[in-house]
Amino acid sequence: MPREPQADPVIGDAFGAMVRDCWHEGGAAGEVTELLERDDGQWYRSPAAAYFEPLDAWQDVDRELVRAVRGSVLDVGCGAGRVLSVLRDRGHRVLGVDASVGAVQVCAERGLDAVVGRLSDLGHLTGGFDSIILTGNGLGLLESRDRAPTLLTELARVANPGAVILGTSFDPARLTSPAELAYQEENLRHGRLLGQWRIRVRYADLASEWFDYAFLAPDDLRTLATGTPWTLEDVWTGEFHHLARLRLR
């Protein structure tokens, strides 16, 4: 039976518990559901099995990202290792990093190299990566207008000369329901990015801490990169999402 979220959650590794349960059920479509709670009371459900999908089931932008990867790879926000496993099998030297202890444990069970860490502090990692990837709307980890320059600088610290960031997102202006338009209007009123969300992950009796996550149009990303060590080089537009490539100056 589905493990429904509780009204009074415990703060903990909700994402890790979710992907661990899904992995132990075989990683296939089933009862385990990812649940995102936004701070305006909106809820978003999606199958946790998406974190274990094979390559041919991925979004077009994630498949294009895999084709664009070169050299050694750092997968930031690697989750349960969906992309890590494909790149490893293609012969890349790959390392994942994720804030979720449970997700990193699942990677270990799958024989994948991953460490616990956040984009804001990649710890003892040093230079040596040619491609830094942020898949599955992973550019959202840049958080906000204020935080993005610091986070991009942290990524530059672990990048080889000439390295690229390959990340996906979608234009938040494509969300046009009344609830989304009201949220966007509130963002603009407070000087935030149009697609900046304040969310947390919920699963069973657990909830993550609240965090900022930003859906970025290409023009947003170009502006955020200005004055950082990165330049937006090009954008590949898919069916709904886009893939951006930034290059280290």
Residue 200: phi and psi, rounded to 5, are -150, 155
The pLDDT score that the predictor gives to residue 2 is 43
Bridge partner list, 73: 94, 131
Q: What does the pLDDT average to over 114-140?
A: 93
Q: Per-residue pLDDT tens for 179-208?
A: 999 999 999 999 999 999 999 999 999 999
Q: Would the pTM count as exceeding 0.85?
A: yes
pLDDT category at 30 given cuts 50, 70, 90 is low
Q: What does the pLDDT average to over 85-109?
A: 97
Q: Which residue has the tokens 């997700």?
A: 103
**Residue 120: is its pLDDT beyond 60?**
yes
**Alpha-carbon gap, residue 64 to 126, rounded angstroms:** 27
**Alpha-carbon gap, residue 108 to 49, rounded angstroms:** 18
**Residue 232: is its pLDDT beyond 50?**
yes
The pLDDT score that the predictor gives to residue 4 is 53
